[in-house]
Each structure stands twice: as C-alpha cells, then as structure tokens.
C-alpha cells in the first residue's frame, strides 16, 4: 500500500511523557512546554490528565496548566478523563477533547483504572454522553493492544472487541496503544487490519512506546496499513506508571525526521520541536531520549 501524503502527529509528551516523572515539575515548566509545542505547529496536543492525584501525583497541576497555556485557534488540547469527576474538571478547564482510556487486557485494566474492561465501558458511557452534550470531541484509547505486562499475549480479536464498544460510545478517534512497546511490524499490520473491520481507518491512530526500539518501524507498518494518525512524545519522554519497565513514547523528533525524509506532510517545524525537547530535557537534567533531537542539537553546535 502507498504511504499517506499527510500524517497527523498528536504530541502526548506533556501528559504521557511527564506523568511518569518522579520529581514534581512546576506548572510553569509544563505551560512553557505546551506553548512551545503550540508554536511548533502541532494541531493536537495532549496537555493534561484529570485522574486521581493519588494514582498519578504529577498530573495534579492539570487545572493550572489548562488555565494558563496560550491557546492557538484550531489546535485541539486534549485531556484524559477516566470518569465523570475527570470530565467535570475537563469541562471547567475548557478542554477541546476528552480521552477515555481502557485496555484490551483485563489484568491491565484492573491495575491502571481499578476495574474490569466491562465496568470501564459502563463508566465511560456517562463521560461519552456528556461529551456529546457539551460538543466536546471524544477519543478512546486502548492500552496493551499488542501485549500486556501482566497477562502477556493479547489477541487482535480482544482489541477489536474494545474498538467496537468504543465506537458504540461515539468515539471520534480511537488509539491502538502499545503501552509496553513490544509490537513488531507484522503484528502491527495484523492488529490494524483486524480493527479496521470495526472502525474507519482514517480515525484510528497508533500510539507506540519505544521500549524495544521498534516504534519507528511500527509506525511505518501502520502507514502501510493506511493509518495516518500517530502519537509521539517530545524528547521521548515517558512511560506508564502501571507498566513497569515501559519507556517513553517514540520521540517526536525521530518521527518528524522520518516523515520529513519520506516527504510526508505533518505541518510541524522540526527545529522548533528540537528546541522544545532540549528545553524540557534541560529542566529534567538529562539528555533527551531522542536520537534525531540530540543529533540535530549537536550539529547546531558545530
């Protein structure tokens, strides 16, 4: 299959990336990061998460972040909302999109959101209906679509089953997530071919963590399956607090470098993204987990 001419990159660093940091990051730093990402040209930034601060303390500043970011018209600022408490906070914070997040594995669902897959869909029902009433975009995310840290194998049919349930809730977009980065390209194609039977390909996205160094190859495989939305994280930040050993999402700089080389339009300025990656890495006091980002920064210094 031919590759898409245009790809939407959803920047998830401010949420998926930073949620895993142990040290509390000041809201001002998070706000500057989101503003830099806005200026770099992203059309969708996952900026915050309205979850229990007992479960994910780093996201406790989400209201302040959403209040103080500089919003560019047309840019979608998304937030995670596991239940109505999260949804109400998202409405108050004027989120453009809410994300309900489930899993294709029962074991991970219990660890991450403290309920079964079936119970999670029931909780999401209220959030989904309220999102529709408020005219807020609704996205569904499916963790462990390619493997689970607790139960191991996950079948494409169980991913398809959750896709179908999220479709019935009215999701505008559905993320097929490799939470622990175990997927390889043929597996990616198998899962996407299966879930495309349940939901339109143009509204499916790939959310790849890079734990085993497969994420770019997996994105390429996803593009060959007709998928044109991918999530990535500035400086390769992140991991999931409920998936031990999982590293960050594929780095945005690496994805953009590949897209630029392939002549695929993303509308995003790689140089500005490299600057944002260096900014947050300096704050965190470590080198960015981005090969392209570090190479471009080193080249600039001559």
* Count of residues that bind Mg ion according to CB under 5 A: 1
Of 249 and 278, nearer to ligand HMG (C-beta) is: 249
Q: Which does 85 bind (CB under 5 to 8 A by kind): ligand HMG, Mg ion, none?
A: ligand HMG
Q: Which does 55 bind (CB under 5 to 8 A by kind): ligand HMG, Mg ion, none?
A: ligand HMG
- Residues 103 to 122: which contact ligand HMG by CB under 6 A? 112-114
- Residue 240 as a binder of ligand HMG (CB under 6 A): the answer is yes
Question: CA nearest 146: which of 156, 136, 161?
Answer: 156
Element (H, E) at 27: helix 27-40
Of 179 and 225, nearer to ligand HMG (C-beta) is: 179
Which of these ranges, 10-18, 115-123, 130-138, 261-269, lies near Mg ion under the rule CB under 5 A? 10-18
Neighbours of 267 (CB within 10 A): 12
Please report how many Cα atoms fall inside a 13 Å half-sphere around the Cα of residue 235, on the Cβ side: 24
Asked if residues 187 and 146 have their Cβ atoms less than 8 Å apart, the reply is yes
- Residue 58 as a binder of ligand HMG (CB under 6 A): the answer is no
- Residue 251 as a binder of ligand HMG (CB under 6 A): the answer is no
Question: CA nearest 181: which of 286, 251, 261?
Answer: 251
Q: Which does 230 bind (CB under 5 to 8 A by kind): Mg ion, ligand HMG, none?
A: none
Q: How far apart are CA 32 and CA 216, in angstroms?
A: 27
Q: Which two tokens stand for residue 102?
A: 């489930």
The beta strand positions in the chain, using DSSP E, are 8-11, 44-49, 76-80, 97-103, 137-143, 173-178, 204-208, 229-232
Question: CA nearest 163: which of 139, 184, 182, 180?
Answer: 139
Q: How far apart are CA 291 and CA 27, in angstroms?
A: 27
Q: Which two tokens stand for residue 262?
A: 């392939």
> Of 11, 16, 32, 97, which one interacts with Mg ion (CB under 5 A)?
16
Position closest to Mg ion via CB: 16
Shortest Cβ 56–ligand HMG spacing (Å): 4
Q: Which two tokens stand for residue 226?
A: 């007709």
- Residue 141 as a binder of ligand HMG (CB under 6 A): the answer is yes
Q: Across the strands, what pairs with 76?
A: 44
Q: Across the strands, what pairs with 8?
A: 229
What is the DSSP secondary structure assignment for residue 285, as one 8-state letter? T
- Residue 13 as a binder of ligand HMG (CB under 6 A): the answer is no
- Residue 175 as a binder of Mg ion (CB under 5 A): the answer is no
Asked if residues 237 and 289 have their Cβ atoms less than 8 Å apart, the reply is yes
Any catalytic annotation for residue 144? Answer: no
- Residue 143 as a binder of ligand HMG (CB under 6 A): the answer is yes
Of 146 and 296, nearer to ligand HMG (C-beta) is: 146
Q: Which does 7 bind (CB under 5 to 8 A by kind): Mg ion, ligand HMG, none?
A: none
Shortest Cβ 248–ligand HMG spacing (Å): 10
- Residue 97 as a binder of Mg ion (CB under 5 A): the answer is no
* Interaction mask 178-197, ligand HMG, x per CB under 6 A: -x------------------
Question: Which residues are at the interface with ligand HMG (CB under 6 A)?
Answer: 16, 19, 49-52, 54-56, 80, 82-83, 85-86, 101, 112-114, 141, 143, 177, 179, 207, 209, 240-242
Q: Which residues are catalytic?
A: 240
């Amino acid at each position: 299959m031919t590759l898409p001419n245009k790809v939407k990159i959803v920047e998830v660093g401010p949420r998926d990336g930073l949620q895993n940091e142990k040290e509390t990051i000041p809201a001002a730093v998070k706000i500057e990061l989101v503003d830099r990402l806005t200026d770099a040209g992203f059309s969708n930034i996952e900026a915050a998460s309205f979850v229990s601060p007992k479960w994910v303390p780093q996201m406790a500043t989400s209201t302040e972040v959403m209040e103080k970011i500089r919003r560019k018209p047309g840019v979608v600022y998304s937030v995670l909302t596991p239940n109505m408490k999260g949804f109400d906070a998202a409405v108050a914070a004027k989120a453009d999109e809410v994300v309900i997040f489930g899993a294709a594995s029962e074991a991970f669902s219990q660890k991450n959101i403290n309920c079964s897959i079936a119970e999670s869909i029931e909780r999401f029902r209220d959030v989904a209906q309220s999102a529709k009433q408020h005219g807020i975009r609704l996205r569904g995310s499916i963790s462990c679509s390619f493997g689970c840290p607790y139960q191991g194998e996950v079948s494409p049919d169980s991913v398809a089953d959750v896709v179908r349930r999220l479709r019935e809730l009215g999701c505008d977009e559905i993320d097929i997530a490799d939470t622990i980065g175990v997927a390889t390209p043929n597996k990616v194609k198998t899962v996407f071919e299966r879930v495309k039977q349940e939901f339109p390909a143009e509204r499916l996205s790939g959310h790849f963590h890079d734990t085993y160094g497969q994420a770019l190859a997996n994105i390429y495989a996803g593009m060959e399956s007709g998928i044109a939305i991918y999530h990535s994280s500035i400086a390769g930040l992140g991991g999931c607090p409920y998936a031990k050993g999982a590293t960050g999402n594929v780095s945005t700089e690496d994805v953009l470098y590949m897209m630029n080389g392939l002549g695929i339009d993303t509308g995003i300025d790689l140089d500005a993204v490299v600057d944002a990656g260096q900014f947050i890495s300096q704050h965190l006091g470590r080198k960015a987990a981005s090969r392209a980002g570090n190479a471009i920064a080193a080249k600039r210094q001559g």
